[in-house]
Amino acid sequence: MRISASQIDRLMACIGGAVLPSIEEPSSVGAERGRAIHDYMASVPSLGRDRALAMVPEDYREFARAIPIDRLPVVKEAWLPEAAYAWDPIEDRGYYLGSMINRAYPATLPGNTVVGTADAIGLADDQAVIIEWKTGKHWSEWQLKFLALAACRAHKCDRAMCVIVFLREDGTCKELVFRYDIFDLGLFAEQLLGLSKRVLAAKSSGESSLVMGAHCEYCPAKLNCPAHTALIRSACAMPANFAAEFEVLTPEAIGKAWPKLVAALQILHRAKAQIETWVTDNGPVPLENGKELRTVVTGRESVAYPRAVADILHGMFPDYDIMGAFKLETSKAAITKVVQSIAVHKGISGRDLKESVFAAVRAAGAIARTTWTRVEEVRIDGKGRDTNPSGVDPKEYGEKFAEAILKRFSSTGPT
Ligand code: SF4
């Protein structure tokens, strides 16, 4: 099994996915949306915005249209979209495999090479700049570390800047920036070599210790994983015993129980979704409790056009103040959408206009801040919570690195 960049985070936590048989998951709406937007971003440089937009599936075209493409490094010739890389852990050597190869990594690569594709890359004299587009929340720093290492080794750079750009449906973006120097790259090479050795050893012995946790969510071996199947068997066969495992509330017990609980919930949610899909596709199923599992259509009425209702009520009751029955509602996302389209119409910066609108709205005390508390897993090193912690101006990675790239990309695949 060749390791791919998106698997590294999970394999660092648990090697089991490299050994156990995989089962391909059906594609989710989120994954399809991500693929459509990635394809769009990759095709803008060659097709131009309008033609690329016309090729986006209709369901996602509004999302694609809202992306502030001129502000992002995709239209500059010097940026390569979908740049594929391989890295050889034994030789510590990186290979640039080409742009837009659609993840068809050459079969001739050694079995232990690690492969991955950067959504866009630009090069300066000694620095690789890697861009990853995200349409969801899930991201992995190891994917960036690998791309930084492979690209730097392939193009003889000493440092890398990796930028995750979160693209949102309302046309706004957030950037998360990571910088890696020559020492970081050396450390990543060592850690990835260790991982590659562990994977090889597990595959040849057929044994691996299984570590459950949130990383299990995207593990293709989840349905064949003994840690999960044992847990589900115990949850279904003896719910009381299963629940008792989570009753002792000491920090040590919680530390052990939480990852198991998250993993169990993931697999139970998935099993429930599978059954619901089956019933939707095939019809009702009788249950042992005498009831039936079936699709049920429910609904409620809501007012679609408040203004039309106001006109009707006003016409029917002209002597009464009927506005008490109406409330004016909006949201930050709705305001942002309107402001973005005004900015496009006026040909000015959407970001600046949005800032001035929200400054005025805040100054008027029209925005309330609500806080709430919840329990969630966060990284102890504190990384990954700030957006754009280095304050890099997106223009910097969009334009500053544009010149040297064509020359530097003459380096090609494995020899
Ligand atoms: S499901 Fe989780 S515990 Fe099982 S092999 Fe995959 S990552 Fe490891």
With residue 253 as reference, give the H or E element that holds it.
Answer: helix 251-282
Does residue 65 have a pLDDT over 50? yes
Distance 393 CA to ligand 1 centre (A): 39
344/150 Cα distance (integer angstroms): 39
Question: For residue 387, which of 139, 218, 96, 82 has the smallest C-alpha distance?
Answer: 139
| CA-to-CA dists, residue 192 to 31, 121, 189, 321, angstroms | 27, 22, 5, 71
Beta strands in 74-225 (DSSP E): 80-88, 93-99, 114-123, 127-134, 159-167, 173-180
CA 318 – ligand 1 centroid, Å: 67
| CA 225 to ligand 1: nearest atom | 4
Q: Domains plus CATH for the chain?
A: 3-206+386-408 (3.90.320), 225-282 (no CATH)
d(CA 409, CA 415): 16
Percent of the chain topping pLDDT 70:
88
Ligand 1 atom with the smallest distance to the CA of 263 is: 2
Say which amino acid occupies 324: G
As a whole number of angstroms, the distance between CA 106 and CA 228 comes to 34
Q: Which of 346-355, 384-393, 394-403 has the lowest mean pLDDT?
A: 384-393
In the predicted structure, residue 271 carries a pLDDT above the cut 50 = yes
Which residue is closest in CA terms to ligand 1's atom 2? 216
Cα 219 to middle of ligand 1, angstroms: 6
- The whole-chain average pLDDT of the chain stands at 84
Query: pLDDT tens, 68-108?
Result: 887 777 656 668 889 999 999 999 999 999 888 988 898 88
> Over the stretch 104-152, which tens digit does the pLDDT of each residue have?
898 888 878 999 999 999 887 788 999 999 998 888 899 999 999 999 9
Q: How confident is the model at residue 380 (pLDDT cuts 50, 70, 90)?
A: low
Question: Looking at residue 87, what is its pLDDT?
Answer: 96
pLDDT tens-digit readout, 184-224: 999 999 999 999 999 999 988 888 888 888 788 888 888 78
Q: Is pLDDT above 90 for 257?
A: no
Distance, CA 16 to ligand 1 centroid (Å)? 5
pTM for the model stands at: 0.72
Backbone angles phi, psi at 342, to 5 degrees: -65, -40
Least confident of 228-232, 301-305, 331-335, 360-364: 228-232
